[in-house]
């Protein structure tokens, strides 16, 4: 499928989903997934496949507890889907694949207006190399109470506007990477690295791109002194940490230039009112910033992701899903 076609489909669906979500966001089609056979489908991918192409309804896929060994894709022509477990600790989607960052993800979200709730999304590839747990290559995606676990490039936050709330994200090397405009609120970032770990690799290529990662009220944990906050995948990489607890896992220098000093003049790496032993800026690299209140203001709310216009409440009314063969 060509990039031009994907963009056309995404833009065509924008008004359908947005107008529908405003008028009937309290009602959704309910599909249940249960490995024991007591739901509509036994696998998550089968439930997604059952959603009509060019979907214009909210679809709520309720996933019963269990470990689902699947490689899952939410295709571009199936927007407005929610995948929801009961608790992130007992509803797990896992796979074991590595190598190419676009082919290896356990869960790939290609459709707009997507929501995930209370799921563990894991790639078991381990320390052998890049193994993405979650790829988000779509606009308007939100994740609540999810666990995203791998070792290298755990979360490919590729493009679009995204919101992560109360999520646990784990890895060692560049474990949050990509060029999305994303707000991470009240999330825990756990580094598995013993040394030379990196939390972010943000890929902003131009000062004209309104992209970047903001971490608001988050918590950083891991082994003492083994991790920096980020390094620039793109020359204009932009990452902000605000009101975030930083444990001793954070290295005193805080940031790296990926062995390219020229990027030190163009990146935007800021910290605002962070605290904890790892938040001491006395030994930070000189090209990172201690932000003022005014400088932090555009990043510590929904402005950059435009979230007030597309984040939607959980449906309160449901209608039965009718299988095609019924």
Mean per-residue pLDDT for 140-169?
98
Residue 82 has pLDDT above 60, yes or no: yes
- Whether 49 has a pLDDT exceeding 90, the answer reads yes
Give the whole-angstrom CA distance, residue 179 versus residue 237.
8
CA 122, CA 133: separation in Å to the nearest integer? 5
Strands, sheet with 147-149, edge to edge from the N-terminal-most edge strand: 66-69, 91-95, 120-123, 147-149, 168-171, 188-191, 219-222, 245-246
Look at residue 325 in the predicted model and tell me its pLDDT.
Answer: 58
Return the pLDDT at 229: 98
Is 269 a domain residue? yes
Q: Where are the alpha helices (DSSP H) in the chain?
A: 3-24, 44-49, 293-296
Residue 28 lies in a domain: no
Asked, for residue 47, whether it belongs to a domain, the answer is no
Q: How many domains does the chain have?
A: 1
Backbone dihedral angles phi then psi of residue 296, each to the nearest 5 degrees: -80, -20
Percent of the chain with pLDDT over 70: 92
- Between the alpha carbon of residue 139 and those of residues 136, 157, 205, the distances in Å are 8, 11, 18
Report if residue 55 sits inside a domain.
Answer: no
- Who contacts 164 (Cβ-Cβ below 8 Å, separation ≥6)? 142, 143, 146, 182, 183, 184, 185, 187
**Which position has the higher pLDDT, 223 or 283?**
283
Identify the bridge partners of residue 183 per DSSP, sorted by sequence position.
Answer: 163, 214
pLDDT digits (tens, 9 = 90+) for 276-318: 999 999 999 999 999 999 999 999 999 889 988 999 999 999 9
Nearest CA-CA partner of 183 in 140, 152, 154: 140
pLDDT for 2-18, tens place per residue?
333 343 333 334 444 54
| Residue in the block written with tokens 């906050």 | 229
pLDDT given for residue 11 in this prediction: 39
Structure tokens at 192: 């598995």
- With beta carbons less than 8 A apart as the criterion, state whether 133 and 122 touch: yes
Is residue 217 situated within a structural domain? yes
pLDDT digits (tens, 9 = 90+) for 32-42: 999 999 999 99
Q: Under DSSP, is residue 24 helix (H, G, I), strand (E, B) or coil?
A: helix
Residue 242 belongs to a domain: yes
Is the pLDDT at 209 greater than 90, yes or no? yes
pTM for the whole structure: 0.92
Higher pLDDT, 23 or 296: 296
Q: pLDDT over 90 for what percent of the chain?
A: 83
Catalytic positions are: 153, 174
- Domain holding 228, by residue range, is 62-312
- At 304 the pLDDT is 87
- Judged by DSSP in three states, 317 sits in strand
- Residue 25's pLDDT band, with cuts at 50, 70 and 90, is low
Closest residue by Cα to residue 214 from 301, 116, 292, 290: 301
Residue 289 resides in a domain: yes
Is the per-residue pLDDT at 147 higher than 60? yes
322: confidence class by pLDDT, cuts 50, 70, 90: confident
Is residue 18 assigned to a domain? Answer: no
Confidence of residue 225 (pLDDT cuts 50, 70, 90): confident
Residue 237 tokens read as 């990489």
Q: Which pair of structure tokens corresponds to residue 309?
A: 């216009």
pLDDT at 255 over 80: yes
Q: Are 44 and 69 a contacting pair, CB within 8 Å?
A: no
Mean local confidence (pLDDT), 174-188: 98
| CATH number for the domain harbouring residue 211 | 2.160.20.10
């Amino acid at each position: 499928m060509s990039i031009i076609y994907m963009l056309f489909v995404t833009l065509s669906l924008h008004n359908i989903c947005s107008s529908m979500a405003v008028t009937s966001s309290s009602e959704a089609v309910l599909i249940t997934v249960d490995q024991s056979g007591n739901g509509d489908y036994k696998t998550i991918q089968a439930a997604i496949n059952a959603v009509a192409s060019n979907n214009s309804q909210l679809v709520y896929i309720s996933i019963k507890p269990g470990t689902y060994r699947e490689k899952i894709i939410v295709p571009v022509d199936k927007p407005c889907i929610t995948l929801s477990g009961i608790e992130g600790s007992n509803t797990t989607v896992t796979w074991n694949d590595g190598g190419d960052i676009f082919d290896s993800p356990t869960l790939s979200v290609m459709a707009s207006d997507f929501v995930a709730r209370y799921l563990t999304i894991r790639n078991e590839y381990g320390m052998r190399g890049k193994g993405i747990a979650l790829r988000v290559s779509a606009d308007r995606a939100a994740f609540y109470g999810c666990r995203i676990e791998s070792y290298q490039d755990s979360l490919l936050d590729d493009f679009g506007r995204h919101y992560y709330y109360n999520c646990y994200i784990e890895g060692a090397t560049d474990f949050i990477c990509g060029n999305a405009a994303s707000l991470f609120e009240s999330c825990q970032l756990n580094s598995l690295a013993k040394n030379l770990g990196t939390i972010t690799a943000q890929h902003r290529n131009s000062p004209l791109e309104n992209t970047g990662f903001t971490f608001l009220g988050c918590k950083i944990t891991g082994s003492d002194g083994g991790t920096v906050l980020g390094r620039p995948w793109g020359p204009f990489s932009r990452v902000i940490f605000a009101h975030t607890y930083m444990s001793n896992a954070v290295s005193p220098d805080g940031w790296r230039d990926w062995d390219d000093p020229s990027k030190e003049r163009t990146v935007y790496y800021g910290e605002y009112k962070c605290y904890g032993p790892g938040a001491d800026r006395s030994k930070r690299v000189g090209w990172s910033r201690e932000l003022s209140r005014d400088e932090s203001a555009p990043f510590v709310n929904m402005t950059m992701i435009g979230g007030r216009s597309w984040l939607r409440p959980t449906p309160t009314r449901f209608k039965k899903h009718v299988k095609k063969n019924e």
